Amino acid sequence: MTNMAPSARHKAASLLDQIIGEGRLMSELIGSGVLDKLPPADRARAQRLATDTLRGMERADRMLSRHLRKPPPLTVHNLLRVGTIELCLGGDPHGVVNDMVSIIGRHRRYGNLKGLVNAVLRKMAADGPRNWNDLRIPRLRSWLREPLVAAYGQGAMNAMDRAYFAGAPLDLTAKGDPKAVAKATGGKLLPTGSIRIENAGQVSALPGFEAGDWWVQDAAAAIPVQVLNPQPGEHILDLCAAPGGKTLQLAAAGATVTALDLSERRMERVAQNLARTGLSATCITEDALSHSGGPYDAILLDAPCSATGTIRRHPDLPFAKDGSDFGELFALQSAMIDHALSLLKPGGRLVYCTCSLLPDEGEVQIDEALARHPDLKTDAEACLRPGIDPDWRTQEGGLRLRPDYWAQAGGMDGFYIACLRQ
């Protein structure tokens, strides 16, 4: 596009261009600074518009197809998608249409399509809001939906689709008393001890942020440390530690924590979170498979995975990925389990977890680890923590969490968790 002051709508459409057209993740793009030229409020708005559009993409495309003879170029299509979503969710018609027409009108290549954008979005403004909820709940893309239907059934998949479309509230983990944090923030205390806040707004403005009384962590992501059950003074390794929520949980429990991650930039975030909360851990930037420390009393391995359990918070993933690289992840997870076991003290425990819904990254990994290591066993009793529904337990002795669990309370991330002892 020609030089012009960036707007939230322009940047939202640009994010979609790179997610859909180049297969890049939103977190990667934002981390690279693509929104840095926007004021803070507009940065948040651009990210929200892009996220809302990804969640409602199927509905937007169905509505747009009624007024398009053929799909326009991706850049134009994404502007129309963002505009359609904003209009259908109650955006000001005059502001949305005028801004989108202005943006495309200054595009070097597609400026001649501003008439199309104007005409289509005016129709969306007139008809979209009243037709929006007549369309079905958007479904995950088929490359991911099909294996999940095979694993959990059509009914469960439909429930997960509803959870993805609804998005995710904000969950907090308290450094101290969860009840006190819930009272201070106006949040709701969940059965597992996390605090849930609806419509939280700016996170850093919530009571207790500056004091380090809590940190942001999905309720499901807080359960692996509960299963590990860290004890004061234990030497515990947090493999693949960034962004640090589990490291903070371990440190708050009084453990002596070594936090390790391959990414220097992500480990800087862990250090920042430790400093804000007044907690301590030894931070190491290193390949997990090269680490030779220990032996440790316990190890938490939150292994690199497909992240398919986090789509309610990261709806870009099904558009940026296609599953073609998952085989490499499966092999890496197996290697990490084997290496982690070599770092444990005799009788030590390893909690393996992934924020994935794919059995290949959860139940199958544990079955295969048990076959490789005859002396290894799962500790099913470790999973009997407060607030855990017995129905979440799996045949091999782990826990399977899904986005449609706690649906009336806002759901949770998909996770697999198992405790291993040798």
Active-site annotation, residues? 355
Place of tokens 């509905």: 59
Is 185 in contact with 208 (CB distance < 8 Å)?
Answer: yes
- Summary count for the chain: helices (H), strands (E): 16, 12
**377-378 vs 415-421, strand pairing mode:** antiparallel
Q: Is 111 helix (H, G, I), strand (E, B) or coil?
A: helix
* Phi-psi group of 347: left, alpha or beta (phi > 0 → left; psi -120 to 50 → alpha; rest → beta): left
**282-285 vs 296-302, strand pairing mode:** unpaired
Place of tokens 């012009």: 4
Per DSSP (E only), the strands in 309-387 are 344-354, 377-378
Looking from the CA of 323 toward its CB, the CA atoms found within 13 Å total 15
Place of tokens 């079905």: 136
49-84: string of b/e by CB count within 10 Å (b at 16+)?
bbbbbbbbbbbbbebbeebeeeebeebbbbbbbbbb
Rounded to the nearest 10 degrees, what angle do helices 74-88 and 57-65 cross at? 100
404-416: string of b/e by CB count within 10 Å (b at 16+)?
bbbeeebbbbbbb
108-112 CB contacts, 8 Å cutoff, 24+ apart = 108/1, 108/2, 109/73, 109/75, 110/73, 110/75, 110/76
